[in-house]
Amino acid sequence: MSHIQISDDIVYRELDGSIVTLSLATGEYVELDLVGTRIWQLIEQDGRQSSVREGLLASFDIDEDTCDQELNAFLATLLDKGLIKVGT
Amino acid sequence: MPHRIQLTRSHTVFEGGESAIASWRAEYRRCHWVKWPGLIEPSLLALLQEKISSARFFDKTNVDVGDESRMKPEPTSAVLEFLTNDNVLFDVVRAITGCGPVGCFRGRVYRLLPNTGQMSDWHPDLSEGRMATLSINLSAEPYQGGILQFRENGGPNIVSQVANTGAGDGVLFNIAEGLEHRVTPLTGTVPRTAYAGWFLREPQFASLLRKRLEEAHATS
């Protein structure tokens, strides 16, 4: 993954500090946790995966390996649910 | 600064601050309505219209009001509900209308078909804690007729009217004791499709959404 975008058919709002998404394709709601919400905000700001990674490292007290593992796993989940799309 | 309110995929844009509110409030008091051009962001509107074009509708009779074609529940209606249940929008509506705190917006997608007798006859809409009405034009093409009109209860004169024919435009309008409104029959060949409903005191949409999220989490 190099450039991440929120899928066109996803709408989202903040609820009690968490991002809640709703899919126009499936009608499925997804609520992101604290870290997921931060990643989502970073994607909104700059979809380059490297920028998201840097932002995540700056936001939480985690080492680079943990960050990479968790970010990759989370992005894979978002991709699987159709919440994001990726390009080069 | 322009006066604008717009529902986007990520948030509600409100521009114009107190100046916008004052202008809209004055218009609302004078005309019983205020129009918001481009209430739905255009690219989002296009997606919604595409979904609606293949959605299924059923005939619905609203007692003492008239017949309409109503869209069956599907993700599109859920998205419109999600977008319109927004605290920024609620605050703007409250500031314009002077109503109490808004708990939720409850609407439905419906269609009026030309040459079918479908219409919305004179009615007051005052029930179930309704405080104000919002109608958003989702029609893919401009339609003819379908004008929103207002009169004093049973009176002979139209005191105000508005045609909401711009794609994605919204009209917020007054429901009050002594005031009735209707939507005139369509006169051309193009249907009128709208998302319309009421701002209600209760229930609280945030609570409803929290419950849905818990249910979704429990079943995932």
Task: Please tell me the least confidently modeled range out of A37-51, B69-83, B186-200, B204-218.
Answer: B204-218
Number of domains making up chain A: 1
The chain B residues in contact with chain A (CB within 8 A) are 9-11, 43-44, 47-48, 51, 74-76, 78-79, 82-83, 86, 206, 209-210, 212-213, 216-217
Question: Looking at residue B220, what is its pLDDT?
Answer: 53
CA Rg, chain B, in Å?
A: 17
Question: Looking at residue B217, what is its pLDDT?
Answer: 75
A24 domain-assigned: yes
CATH number where A13 lies? 1.10.10
What percent of chain B is modeled with pLDDT above 90?
88
Split chain A (88 residues) into runs of 10 and give each run's mean pLDDT: 90 95 96 96 96 96 95 96 91
A50 domain-assigned: yes
Question: Looking at residue B51, what is its pLDDT?
Answer: 97
A14 domain-assigned: yes
pLDDT of B192 strictly over 70: yes
User: Token match 């380059």: residue?
Assistant: A48
CA distances, B106 to each of A59, B15, B94, B133 (Å): 38, 24, 16, 10
A20 domain-assigned: yes
Question: Looking at residue B63, what is its pLDDT?
Answer: 86
**Residue B19 — pLDDT band, cuts 50, 70, 90?**
very high
pLDDT in tens, B52-110: 999 999 999 988 889 999 999 999 999 999 999 999 999 999 999 999 999 999 999 99
CA distances, B90 to each of A65, B4, B61, B93, B149 (Å): 44, 15, 29, 5, 24
CA of A19 vs chain B CAs: smallest distance (Å): 10
Q: What value does the mean pLDDT take over residues B1-17?
A: 96
A87 domain-assigned: no
A33/B contact by beta carbon, under 8 A: no
> Looking at this protein, which amino acid is placed at residue B15?
E
Which of A8, A24, A31 lies nearest to residue B51, judging by beta carbons? A24
Q: Which residues of B touch A29 (CB under 8 A)?
A: 209, 212-213, 216
Q: Do A8 and B47 touch (CB under 8 A)?
A: yes
Domain holding A37, by residue range, is: 3-82
Which of A8, A25, A30 lies nearest to residue B75, judging by beta carbons? A25
pLDDT in tens, B33-58: 999 999 999 999 999 999 999 999 99
**Residue B17 — pLDDT band, cuts 50, 70, 90?**
very high
Q: Which of B79, B104, B214 to mutate to test the interface with A (most CBs of A within 10 A)?
A: B79
A49 domain-assigned: yes
pLDDT of B128 strictly over 80: no
Q: Which of A11, A21, A33 to mutate to test the interface with B (most CBs of B within 10 A)?
A: A11
A55 domain-assigned: yes
Return d(Cα B155, Cα B149) in angstroms, integer.
12
pLDDT of B121 strictly over 90: yes
A88 domain-assigned: no
What percent of chain A is modeled with pLDDT above 70?
99
Question: Looking at residue A78, what is its pLDDT?
Answer: 97
Contact between B37 and B169 under an 8 Å Cβ cutoff? The reply is yes
Q: Where do the domains of chain B lie, and which CATH numbers do they carry?
A: 4-219 (2.60.120.620)
Which of B48, B78, B209 lies nearest to residue A20, judging by beta carbons? B209
The neighbour count for residue B162, using CB atoms within 10 Å, is: 19
Give the A:B interface size as CB pairs under 8 Å: 52
Please give the model's pTM, rounded to 2 decimal places: 0.95
Q: Do A11 and B76 touch (CB under 8 A)?
A: no
A72/B contact by beta carbon, under 8 A: no
User: Token match 């007729």: residue?
Assistant: B145
Tokens of B133: 């009405």
Q: Do A11 and B11 touch (CB under 8 A)?
A: no
Q: Which residues of A touch B51 (CB under 8 A)?
A: 24
Question: Looking at residue A54, what is its pLDDT?
Answer: 96
The ipTM value here is 0.93
